[in-house]
Amino acid sequence: MTKITEGVYFIPGQDELIPDSHAYVVGKPSSQDLSLIDVGLIGKGSHKIQSILKMGIELAAVKRIIMTHTHFDHIGCLSEIQKQIPWAELWIHALEADPLEQGDERTVYGMDMFRGMCQMQYGLRSGAFHFKVNRKLRGGESLELGGMVWEVIHIPGHSIGSIGLYHQPKRILIPGDVVYADYAIGRFDLHGANASELKKSLMRLAEREVDILLPGHHQTVEKLPPGYILKTARQWEPYLV
C-alpha cells in the first residue's frame, strides 16, 4: 500500500486469471474514521488486510466499506474482509444494493457464462453474494469521511449503480471502472450496462477538474492532463450509442 496524498492510500490489485480490483483507503489517519473503497477479487482479502496493517493503520479505524460497484473483481473478497472487520458498514448505490440484499447476483457476475466459470473455479454456491447494505447511496451526497469531504457521483453505464467519489479540494477522482488511464473506459456489455448512459456519465465526470485519477484497475495517474476525461469521452463517442 502506498500513500497517494494525505488521507488517500492505494492498495494495488493482484491480478490472477481474473483481475483483482485496486482498493483505496480514504480519511485522515488521525480521524480514526477511515473508509475502504472496494475490496477486490475472491481470495484477495488477506492481501488487502495485510496491506492496510503494513501502513500502520489499525483495523479498528476502518469504519466502512464503500463499493464503487459490485462486480466480482471488486466485491469478491467482501466476506473475507467482513470477517476481519465485522463492525465496518457497507455503503453501495441503491441500484446495486437492493439486488445484493435480495441475493440477485446478476450484477456481480455480469453474464451467465462468467457466473458458471467463477462458481466452478472458486467452488462458490449460488447465493454466495447476499449482503446487508447499511447505507444506500443515490448520487449527489456530500460524504464527510475522516475529515475529508467526498462527493458521490452516480455514473451508470459500466454497471447500473456505479459511483465515482470526488474530492474537490485536491481534485481527486475515484471512478471505479468507468474511466482508466491511457484513454481507456470500462466495458459496457455486462448485465445492467448501457453504452449511452456510460457516455453521459463520462460527460458528467468531465465537468469536474481532476488532477489525480484513481481507477479500479491499471495505472493510477497523479498529474492528469487538463480535459483528459472529456478527450476520453470524445474518443469513445462513436461506440457509445
At which residue does the C-alpha cell 448520487 appear?
139
Cβ proximity to Zn ion: between 44 and 71 the closer is 71
- For residue 33, the minimal CB distance to Zn ion (Å) is 26
Q: What residue ranges bind Zn ion (CB under 5 A)?
A: 21, 71, 73, 177, 216
For residue 82, give every residue at least 6 positions away whose Cβ sits within 8 Å of its Cβ, in sequence order, or none. Answer: 88
Q: How far is CA 130 from the centre of its chain?
A: 18
Cβ proximity to Zn ion: between 21 and 51 the closer is 21
- For residue 46, the minimal CB distance to Zn ion (Å) is 20
Cβ proximity to Zn ion: between 7 and 110 the closer is 110
- For residue 60, the minimal CB distance to Zn ion (Å) is 28
- For residue 20, the minimal CB distance to Zn ion (Å) is 9
d(CA 92, CA 65): 9
d(CA 54, CA 52): 5
b/e code 214-232 from CB counts within 10 Å (16+ = b): bbbbeebbeebeeebbeeb
Cβ proximity to Zn ion: between 71 and 93 the closer is 71
Helices vs. strands in the chain: H and E counts, helices first: 8, 12
Question: Which ranges of 123-237 does DSSP label H, i.e. alpha helix?
Answer: 195-206, 228-236
Cβ proximity to Zn ion: between 114 and 183 the closer is 114
